[in-house]
Structure 1
Amino acid sequence: MRQTANRLKPFFENINFEREDNTMMVNFGPQHPSAHGQMRLMLELKGEEVVKATPGIGYLHRGMEKMGENMIYNEFLPTTDRMDYIASTSNNYGFALAVEKLLGIEAPRRAEIIRTMLLELNRIMSHLFWLATHALDVGAMSVFLYAFREREYAMDLIEDYCGARLTHSAVRIGGVPLDLPDTWCEDLERFITNFEKEIDRYEGLLTENRIWRMRLENVGVIDEKLAKSWGCTGIVLRAAGVKWDLRKEMPYGLYPELDFNVPIASTGDAYGRYKCYIQEMRETAKILRQLIPMYKGSESSLMAHAPEYISAPKEQIMTQNYSLMQHFVLVTQGMRPPKGEIYVATESPKGELGYMIVSDGTPYAYKMKLRAPSFWHTGVLEEMLPGHQLADVVTIIGNLNIVFGEIDR
């Protein structure tokens, strides 16, 4: 009991529970449904105004980085699904790309096209989940129903490819496990056509809605200086006027070949972030349209040819003795990357998702560190919440698009 008290001491040492003024301490979460995960937010209130905010994380104890250091590389890849579980493919891809850079291999073009399709479809799913839950937090029930309906259609496409709807594991180190089903591209095109019309519906319900604007405008303002000082990325940074998208600034995969814009805003408030999310969904639909003809004109190879690190195709494993032995060693013992250190960052739906891997030449990473955007966007609450009303706290937390699965270390 004494050890537990000592561990909690740094969290509570700046909080005075005994006071003679008119302020009051309130626990917001971790049970509150609008806390969007395992966050305890200590609010010091003067009436309805927030005087001080102390976000406390650590209510999800999985040790994701240590798990990555105690699993062989291929074994850890499905575990990354459980970080930002709303955008599983972005976690898979970021880790696979980091290991590929460490190995010095590249995925075949067809595999990279499929990966990008899944990434951008997952971006739509993530943004729709954000829009639905954020609107519900503020009181807009209809948008929640419409957005979740379209998200289900997007999940149907993911399920048609890999058989899973939430935790996909649809990417492999070196490529992808499967080719697209026969009519998948046609289904995707129909989805995009309908989705673009639905975005107009969302905007018709929200963008000029008087209540929506009153709840979001000039609320949760994060200017450029504050965003940079707290390491904010993604739409939180772009809504502050900084045009920074890793797909453009530090391009990877097929993104240098794709034509899309990076939406920005100048207000830095919750309403500016909302408009950036809406516009980014339109740009994602534009990217998916470009990928369909690219896929149809690509060769059929799906995995990189690197026998030292990547298993041979199943046909060879079943017919060639050497390929079978190599596959057995890779599955039971794991690949052995060369000694070295790598950091690879990708643009997940929430911001910069980075993997740092240190290899000592064994099948296990000597050191692994994860750079997840939600961690930094939770920290900024401490500085941005004071001065707001209690009702605005729900709006701000939902608007920042925080998922606590990727905050866990």
Structure 2
Amino acid sequence: MASTLLGFATRSLVSNGTLLKRVIPQTAAALQVTRGGKQWHPSVEDVQETAGAVLYTDPKEPNRWAKDIKPWSSRDPTPDIEVSNLTVNFGPQHPAAHGVLRLVMELSGESVKRCDPHIGLLHRGTEKLIEYKTYLQALPYFDRLDYVSMMCNEQCYSLAVEKLLGIEIPERAKFIRVMFGEITRILNHIMGVGTHALDVGAMTPFFWMFEEREKMMEFYERVSGARMHAAYVRPGGVQQDLPLGLMDDIYDFITKFAQRVDEVEEMLTNNRIWRNRTIDIGVISAEDAINYGFSGVMLRGSGIKWDLRKVQPYDAYDQVEFDVPIGRKGDCYDRYLIRVEEMRQSLHIIHQCLNKMPEGEIKVDDAKITPPRRAEMKESMEALIHHFKLYTEGYMVPPGSTYTAIEAPKVCSLSEVYCQV
């Protein structure tokens, strides 16, 4: 009974903050043990020591006690809590990361406020490896620099070496390079638009576009024997001539692919979800694009009409006609529209290359640079010697340096070649 009364008196004190008037029977004293022990219970004197009204300090005047101040509640906002943005590690192994790259991003809702890129995860020492190779053996390394723009990388490197050698390749080789360069551009834009739509949640355009992409990879395979790392465009021309029937198949493909582009654009361009996810997202002004050194679609998306195929034409680009689309806002939606329109312009360029394809050689007529045909090697000892020397020692390049740039599908591709003796 004493324990019950004491427990009730203690709870009344804490909850009400009023003076305790209850009288504790003296029988409770018999239950008291040493203060602080396990079985200790407060005595009458202990309870009376804590009797009285509950007082709170005044926040404005800490030395004054007030009765009517509301006690602290956990629901009240705490002024010293700092709100920080969400930090997300994008990659190196992320479902939306199509390559080994790590981005430490600071997000405020769905807006990226800060991005810290960590590069070098694909560093393989390519430049150092090329130093110990011949100019022909160095060519396959450029396929691996961008595995979606294979022949464009080969084209840039070949143009740089040809500039050092001071040679001019045949017209047929130029048109073949331009045609496959535009096929590579379509391959790249299909990858960009398709995976972008897949990340947003649209799976249908991804499958539609990749079905067409497989058909173009077959063109790679028929002309070079490889679907990705072709090593087809080489210094001095191309590796071999187009096989029979390939030009007809390419013509049939470009007539049907234009309809597929229209279907994909019909599904995405006016789609409400797609527009909400791309319009006014990632806006880059023209001034920032120039200051940050942007090129390619990123630069044209900000409204700057700069395309090396027009400004500094190379190979046969000065003999074909095409338009250069540009954006207005510089957001993701503009860049998407530019990629779609560039696919249409690439189809137009391929169509012109098929119609204007000249006859003739596909390699420069120089035995010191171009390997001889196999039939010629069986008839001429000099041809056999040239073949042996080319594939063991390589051809000699005059000392000097050159700087070559082309309009690659993603950005402006640069090739800087030094030759020291």
TM bin, normalised by shorter chain, reads 0.7 to 0.9
How many residue pairs end up in the alignment?
Answer: 341
Q: How does 1:202-217 map to 2 (within 5 A)?
A: 202-217=264-279
Higher mean C-alpha displacement, 63-72 vs 210-219: 63-72
- Show the counterpart of 1:177: 239
The question of whether the paired residues in 2 share the 8 Å contact of 1:341 and 1:358 is answered with yes
Matched, 1:66 2:131: no
What is the CA–CA distance in structure 2 between the aligned matches of 1:42 and 1:212, rounded to whole Å? Answer: 25
**Residue from 69, 91, 94 that aligns with 1:29:** 91
Q: How does 1:175-324 map to 2 (within 5 A)?
A: 175-295=237-357, 298-324=358-384
Deviations 1:332-366 (A, max 9, x none): 111110011100101111121011011114xxxxx
Deviations 1:90-129 (A, max 9, x none): 1111111110111001211111111111111111111111
- Show the counterpart of 1:332: 392
Deviations 1:26-61 (A, max 9, x none): 322111121221111112345655442211111112
Change (3 A) 1:212 1:313: same
Change (3 A) 1:28 1:183: same
TM-score by length of 2: 0.78
- Indicate the SS of the match to 2:378: helix
What is the CA–CA distance in structure 1 between the aligned matches of 2:112 and 2:177, rounded to whole Å? Answer: 44
Structure 1 stretches of 4+ with a deviation exceeding 4 A read 46-49
What is the CA–CA distance in structure 1 between the aligned matches of 2:138 and 2:260, rounded to whole Å? Answer: 37
- Indicate the SS of the match to 2:96: helix
TM-score by length of 1: 0.81
- Indicate the SS of the match to 2:341: helix
**Residue from 132, 147, 160 that aligns with 2:209:** 147
- How far residue 301 of structure 1 moved from its aligned partner, in angstroms, is 0.7
Matched, 1:131 2:161: no
- How far residue 261 of structure 1 moved from its aligned partner, in angstroms, is 0.5
What is the CA–CA distance in structure 1 between the aligned matches of 2:314 and 2:108, rounded to whole Å? Answer: 49
Q: Which amino acid aligns with 2:365?
A: H
Percent identity between the aligned chains? 43
Q: Which runs of 5+ in 1 are unaligned?
A: 1-18, 362-409
Bigger relative CO (Cα 8 Å, ≥ 6 apart) = 1
- How far residue 214 of structure 1 moved from its aligned partner, in angstroms, is 0.3
What is the CA–CA distance in structure 2 between the aligned matches of 1:318 and 1:354, rounded to whole Å? Answer: 40
Larger radius of gyration: 2
Task: Give me the CA root mean square deviation.
Answer: 1.5
Matched, 1:99 2:161: yes
- Show the counterpart of 2:3: none
Change (3 A) 1:71 1:267: same
- Indicate the SS of the match to 1:262: coil
What is the CA–CA distance in structure 1 between the aligned matches of 2:260 and 2:85, rounded to whole Å? Answer: 45
- Show the counterpart of 2:418: 358
What is the CA–CA distance in structure 2 between the aligned matches of 1:51 and 1:184, rounded to whole Å? Answer: 49
Q: Which runs of 5+ in 2 are unaligned?
A: 1-80
Structure with the bigger percentage of helix: 1
The question of whether the paired residues in 2 share the 8 Å contact of 1:245 and 1:347 is answered with yes
